[in-house]
Structure 1
Amino acid sequence: MKLSASLLEKYNQPGPRYTSYPTAPYFAESFGATDWSVELQQTQGSGRDLSLYVHIPFCDTLCYYCGCNMVATRNYTKATEYLVYLFQEITRIAEITAPDRKVRQIHWGGGTPTYLHPDDISRLIAHIRAHFNIAEGAEIGCEIDPRELTHEHVQALADSGFNRVSLGVQDLNLTVQQAVNRIQSVELIHEVYGWMRDAGIPSINMDLMVGLPHQTVASFDDTLTQIIAMSPDRLAVFNYAHVPWLKKHQTLIQESDLPDLPTRIALQQLLLDRLGLAGYVYIGMDHYAKPDDELVKAQQQQTLYRNFQGYTTHKDCDIYAFGVSAISQTDEVYVQNAKNLAEYQQRIAQGGLATERGIRISYEDRLRRDAITKLMCDLTLDKSQFEQQWNITFDVHFADALATLADMQTDGLITLTPNTLQVTESGRLFLRNIAMCFDAYLSQPDKLTPRYSRTL
């Protein structure tokens, strides 16, 4: 795949990442804890399995690029206190959950889940196992910051049944690391990676980031050389989202130090070339995996799905999410817990759920979500099948979208036929832009439109 500078400049515009539809800025406080409690009770007979998400918001230090809901502190008593409320929330939701519902996936995110001491890692996963019906062979994953990590942390994860981990690397160049306040040596990454392999954890992902201050093609090529040599099973290579209006600490990054557009384009080309030659398959939306990985197989079999945990093979699962800011979903509802730590803990202490806002989506939302999901995951959409499923005339219902997609076809991003929409190889880099064509919320007046990071 050879990238066109003119196309990248043309489509480099603000847009959602579509981990949900409608996207989170449209959740409303009018849908709260009582509504979520009713939804939980009414969906226990849905036949859908479960995916559990746990948010651990704490980090030892602040990374200036971070876009997560996190608290930087070295005061571990905050985590000890947090776990008290987290355990209560897990118990409270479990009491509503039908005991025969199988948990197919567990994921811990943050912040830094391995901020927790090893014994607290073991204690938390044991509490989850005691309150939910965990399926044999369930996917159990955790995000890891290699700094402050010990061999005991890794052993606690392995002993607790974690079979997927995601190691936050971002960049191995010292100048870049200093600019974003995340210092971690190449030797440290090798050591931690070796611990995880030695512990028998079968699937290791590495997170990288492009677009960071002082990043150059030469410096990032060196990073890729080191990473490819370690041979992780998956790679997630995110574009840095500079949104200082949302994340005030990003003002600590000087915009003049960020790579210019030609450099960002060259970095994307470098990724495609180096990882392609190394045998990784480009899934789309910044994700790469080895050819035998289940994400690649799911995409080939058109069973891949996308939610707040990114790409997943667990399509038909409700998500029960625990902790501050965590987002849950059923087939028709999204809800988010309180984003402020003190507010989250207060809601739990009062004996209720932590829900702060949410949305019950309409039939129209569901069909548009399905179109967006098919294109972002399957990279193709059969119009006849879609019409039968949703009882619409596709070309009439999506006339505006098709007009925009026709321009994208001219640019070589998508192929349109009378019965199919097919994302091209080049179009995989522009999946957010393609999905935006189906987003009815983006046509709302500007004053109601949330500000997003740029798509490229």
Structure 2
Amino acid sequence: MQELDFHKYASYSKPGPRYTSYPTAVEFNPSFQEAELLEAFKRADKQIPLSLYFHLPFCKSACYFCACSVIYTNSQSKKERYIGYLAKELELLRSHLDTHREVVQLHFGGGTPTFYNAEQLDRIIANIKNTFSNFAKDAELSCEIDPRHFSLEQMQVLKKHGFNRLSFGVQDFDPQVQVAVNRLQSVDLVQEKVQIARDFGITSINFDLIYGLPLQTIKSFETTLLEVLRLNPDRLAVFNYAHVPWVKHTMKIDPKTLPSPQEKLALLQFLIGFLKGHGYEMIGMDHFAKKDNELYLALQNKQLRRNFQGYTTKKFSQTIGVGVTSIGEGQDYYTQNFKDLKRYEQALDSGHLPVERGVRLSGEDRLRKEVIMHLMNNLELDFHSIEKAFNIDFKTHFKDALNALKPYEQEGLVAISEGGLKTSPTGAMLVRNLAMVFDAYLGVQSGARRFSQTL
């Protein structure tokens, strides 16, 4: 990787999407309701498998870096009530969807999924499997883990039901950083909980880390990374901290303690070099994997995909989002459940799927989605394959986008040839910026209040 002029490259930082979807969630609109979702279910290709995402929203306390849709509570009755509403939603899905279709992914996100005790998790999973009965033998069953709320009994339940991937929220091991973001957990605690997973034969363990947190320095982050190496995860997701002061609890972070864009770039360049030097290769935008990991192998074969559950080697699947705020995805639509728990419950009480908003994709949306997602996933584009799939001339159709990439090309961040484009190792750090030139919606809206900074 070339040496960076940090002041120069920090100037590339701008508000921009992370492209977990295209069109992005800001384009979802309330005109897409339950009737539109049911029509989407009817026209969906029944040969395409299903992917299930369950949002379990409860947390005991706020982590100040988190901008997720969560509900803070210590109430057992609230969790029990939510289990009941998940059951109602599953029953409605059973009446509108062929739940005998093959399931290739199941993911528990949150919130803190392991804030539910072992018996509660057992009931939730049993109900899911009673509804969706056809899980593929090689299905990915994954769960986000807060080490502070993870027990041997919970691991026994997850193993019993076939879960094979766990993602541990680590973020940073530095005590000062942990205090600043209200997330206290020792290295010993994380090691103990990872060992529980290893003892049960879990061979795919991911750690979530964050760079750009308050008080974080290259020296302190190196100490965290050395501890991470000792715990030997199979994959790493190292996210860029997005300070979104319009989310209430992030206001508790003092902006003066945050690294500058230049310092964040230095952190990013350091961690990429450090991890590469210790056997972890960069996968897509912010993920790293060992060279024998299936994600790295999929990247080499240009077969890496990304959905709301993260990176995967699976082919496209129709995502069914269950629970408050969950997002579903089909070939030509996105849908999102109510974010407000009361409205979510009211919809189910009235016998309706809790659809708050969504979007149906046009042909142009689907084309640009393919371009943006492939670039985000594989850090390159093959013009000919896109031309063949969508019957276009790439350079003519995307003339404006390719012109917008010329400054990046002149800086050596992307190489454009007759047949495609490919990011440089440094350009990969700016892949969100590169993808943005293909986004047809950014020119007609102001992103400053909608998106986090790209660096």
Q: In which range does the TM-score fall when normalised by the shorter chain?
A: over 0.9
Offset, 1:406: 1.4
Q: Which residue of 1 aligns with 2:431?
A: 431
Q: Which runs of 5+ in 2 are unaligned?
A: none
| Structure-2 residue corresponding to 1:26 | 27
Deviations 1:62-83 (A, max 9, x none): 1011111001111121111001
Q: Residue 232 of structure 1 corresponds to which residue in structure 2?
A: 233
- Map 1:261-410 → 2, pairs under 5 A: 261-410=261-410
1:200 matched to 2:201? The reply is: yes
122 and 251 in structure 1: CA distance in 2 versus 1, 3 angstrom threshold: same
Please report how far the alpha carbon of residue 3 of structure 1 lies from its aligned counterpart in structure 2 after TM superposition. Answer: 4.6
1:87 alignment counterpart = 87
Aligned residue type for 1:434: L
- Relative to structure 1, the CA distance from residue 3 to residue 102 in structure 2 (aligned partners, 3 Å threshold; closer, same or farther) is farther
Residue 110 of structure 2 is matched in structure 1 by 110
* Alignment-derived partner of residue 176 in structure 1: 177
AA matched with 1:196 = A
Distance in 2 (alpha carbons) for counterparts of 1:20 and 1:142: 21
CA distance in 2, matches of 1:262, 1:428: 17
Mapped contact 1:7–1:411 kept (Cα < 8 A): no
Structure 1: state its 5+ residue gaps. Answer: none
CA distance in 2, matches of 1:395, 1:198: 53
Given that 1:3 and 1:265 are in contact with CA atoms closer than 8 Å, whether structure 2 keeps it comes out as: no
Would you say the 8 A contact 2:282–2:288 is kept in 1? yes
What percentage of aligned pairs have identical amino acids? 45
Q: Give 1:126 deviation, angstroms.
A: 1.1
Per-residue deviation, 1:450 = 5.5
Give the TM-score taking structure 2 as reference length. Answer: 0.97
Residues 264, 151 of structure 1: alpha-carbon distance in 2 compared, 3 angstrom cutoff: same
Q: Is the 8 A contact 1:215 1:259 kept in 2?
A: yes
Deviation at residue 440 of structure 1 after TM alignment: 0.6
Q: Give the corresponding residue for 1:134.
A: 135
Q: CA deviation at 1:424?
A: 1.7
The whole-number CA distance in structure 2 between the counterparts of 1:157 and 1:97 is 26
1:215-230 alignment, distance < 5 Å: 215-230=216-231
Deviation string for 1:365-423 (max 9, x for gaps)? 11011111221122222222322221222112111110111111111111011221112
Cα drift, residue 99 of structure 1:
4.6
1:36 matched to 2:37 = yes
Displacement, 1:97? 2.5
- Give 1:39-188 correspondences, 5 Å limit: 39-43=40-44, 45-132=45-132, 133-188=134-189
- Please, what TM-score do these two structures have when normalized by structure 1? 0.97
Q: Deviations over 1:123-162 (max 9, x none)?
A: 1111111111111121100001011322212222122211
Aligned-partner Cα distance in 1 for 2:315–2:13: 29
C-alpha distance in structure 1 between counterparts of 2:300 and 2:227, whole Å: 29
Contact 1:25-1:450 within 8 A present in 2 as well: no
Contact 1:335 1:357 in 2 (8 A): yes
* Matching residue's letter, 2:310: G
CA distance in 1, matches of 2:321, 2:161: 19
Deviations 1:140-195 (A, max 9, x none): 00001011322212222122211000000000011111111111011101111111
Contact 2:53 2:321 in 1 (8 A): yes
Distance 1:288 1:108, change over 3 A: same
Q: Does 1:243 align with 2:276?
A: no
- Aligned CA RMSD, in angstroms, stands at 1.4
Give, in angstroms, the shift of residue 449 of structure 1.
7.3
Partner secondary structure for residue 80 of structure 1 = helix
Distance 1:450 1:179, change over 3 A: closer
